[in-house]
Every structure is written in structure tokens, then in C-alpha cells.
Amino acid sequence: MSDGTGSFQVGVIIPAAGQSTRFGSDKLGQDLGGRPLLLRTVELFTRRDEVRCIVVAAPPDALEEFRSRYGAQLGFHGVRIVAGGIADRWESVRNALAAIDESCTHIAVHDAARPAASDALLARVFDAARVAPAVIPGEPVSATLKRISEESFAAAPDEEVADAILGTEGREATRGHRVTETIDRTRVVAVQTPQVFEASLLRRAYAQDNLGGATDDSMLVERLGEPVLVVSGEARNIKVTTQADLALVRAVLGHRAPEERPAHKRF
């Protein structure tokens, strides 16, 4: 590895086929400093020397719309677009995997919804992946974690008393769930992407029979019984899930919302 990249060729999979249900509208098309969020995410990787190819998994039910919206800019970077899966992220990754160049020694999977990962994080994960077959970023969990009951309960069992104190609206607002357990957070980490794997290992993980229930890619590697290394993640690597996350990402990247920018600088 004289040039530091010779035997480390990374194919990148960007799952971007989700429905943005919790966000409420297409989160990947949101403006981030004048460019759609999806392109910001893709461009994290176009800047890296180790990256040999990038495949984006797009919503299968809106593929043509996706191509007309992003095709030109993605094509400029040599990015391939494949149809993802409607229901499950793993289906999107599996479809993209088939389009990754065979010559890639490693494969990185990164959520389209994480546009604020730093280049330092990418460098850290890629460096570790040169020596470990499966590497994921993770952050210690600082919150106290509790498991709660599935059903919700009224705060006051006696509705007449509750109504007298809070009124009917207050009664609804004070419904809650019961704590069933406090979860020990010792050595618990919240994991992020990019997750980087030896190409053959990830292909083997995705060739398993039952991929259901996998919420990230490393879980499928764990199912093979293969070790997964966790390196430091970072707080700024936010997954845009709700509108509040988008505001945080804009703050991290120093972008103003489009309505706060002069009209000629919006797209």
C-alpha cells in the first residue's frame, strides 16, 4: 500500500429509498445551503480518495422522479442509481450491493439522511477498516434508558377527579406509559453510519436467508458470528428523522433555512 489507497478501494452504498414518514415530507430533498440534503450526503464521499464507486438506492415507486431530480448531478459524480426497497432499508442495501464494482475491496454503507458526518469521522472509520473487517461508529449513550409498557394509561385512574383538576383536555395530555424497566447503559453505544466492511463479508452477510428485523448492516455481520469493531462516532453525525433534526443539522453546517436567505440564493 505505497500510496495508501492501492489495496483499499471502497464502494459506497447510500440508502435513500425511505418514505420520510416521521419527517412528514421528502427529507432528502430539503434545502441545505442551496443544495438538496441528498447531494450534500453524496458529496461527503466524492471528496475521498479511497472511494471508487457510489450507488444510491432510490424509492422504487418514484424512480423516474428521483432520476429527473438528481440524475444529472449524481451522474456528474459517476454515481449509479438503483431501485431500493419500499418497506425495508435492508432491501435497499441489498439491491445496491449488486451494483457495486467487484473490484472494490471494501463497502461503506451510509444513510442518505446523515449529511453532517465530518471528514474526520470518515477518515477514522476508513482507517480502522484497513485493519478490521467490520467497523462502525458509535457514541456512548448519555440518556437514562427505560423500557415502557406498550399501552398508555391515564395519569389519574379516576377520570372525574382528573377532570375537576385538569379539565378534559388536560386529562388527554397527561396520558402516559408505565416504566417496566430501567436499562443498564453501561457500555451501551448508539451506532451511526458510515459502517464499513470487507466487501466479501458484507456480501456474505446479505446472502443470509432471513434479513428481516435488521436495523443496521452490522447486525447481519453479527448474525454470521463475525466480530464488529466500534470506533468513536460523533454528535454532529445526526440522522435527519424529524423537522427538529433538520434545524440541528443546519446549525451544525452553518446553513440558514431557505426562507431566511435572500431570494436569489435559494434554489
Q: Which residues bind ligand CTP (CB under 6 A)?
A: 15-23, 57, 84-89, 92, 111-113, 239, 241
Number of residues that bind Mg ion (CB under 5 A): 1
**CA-wise closest residue to 85 among 153, 135, 13:** 13
- How far apart CA 171 and CA 156 sit, in angstroms, is 8
Residue closer to ligand CTP (CB basis): 22 or 175: 22
- For Mg ion, the closer CB: 18 or 194: 18
Amino acid (one-letter) located at 216: D
Considering the complex, what minimum distance in angstroms separates the CB of residue 220 from ligand CTP?
15
Name the residue type at position 32. L
Are 125 and 118 within 8 A, CB to CB?
Answer: no
Nearer to ligand CTP, 20 or 174 (CB): 20
Nearer to ligand CTP, 23 or 126 (CB): 23
Give the integer Cα–Cα distance in Å for 161 and 148. Answer: 25
- Burial string for 8-18 (b: 16+ CB within 10 Å, else e) reads bbbbbbbbbbb
Buried-exposed string 159-169: b where 16+ CB fall within 10 A, e elsewhere: eeebeeeeeee
Measured from the CB atom, the residue of 232 and 241 that comes closer to Mg ion is 241
The label of the residue with cell 438506492 reads: 57
Minimal distance, residue 18 CB to Mg ion, in Å = 5
| Residue 8 vs 45, nearer CB to ligand CTP | 45
Q: How far is the CB of 84 from ligand CTP (least distance, A)?
A: 5
What is d(CA 125, CA 232) in angstroms, rounded to the nearest whole number? 9
Task: Kindly state the smallest distance separating residue 209's Cβ from Mg ion, in Å.
Answer: 23
Q: Using CA atoms, how far apart are residues 251 and 254, in angstroms rounded to an integer? A: 5
The closest residue (CB) to ligand CTP is 18
- Within 9-38, the residues that bind Mg ion by CB under 5 A are 18
d(CA 59, CA 95): 12
Cβ closer to Mg ion: 37 or 162?
Answer: 37
- Binding site partner of 186, from Mg ion, ligand CTP, none, Cβ cut-off 5-8 A by kind: none
Which one of Mg ion, ligand CTP, none interacts with residue 221, CB within 5 to 8 A by kind? Answer: none
CB 173: neighbour CB atoms within 10 A?
A: 11
For residue 91, the minimal CB distance to ligand CTP (Å) is 6
Q: How far is the CB of 231 from ligand CTP (least distance, A)?
A: 20
**Where are the alpha helices (H) located in the chain, listed in sequence order?**
37-46, 63-76, 89-97, 119-129, 159-173, 199-206, 218-223, 243-253
CB of 176 to ligand CTP, least distance (A): 23
Binding site for Mg ion (CB under 5 A): 18
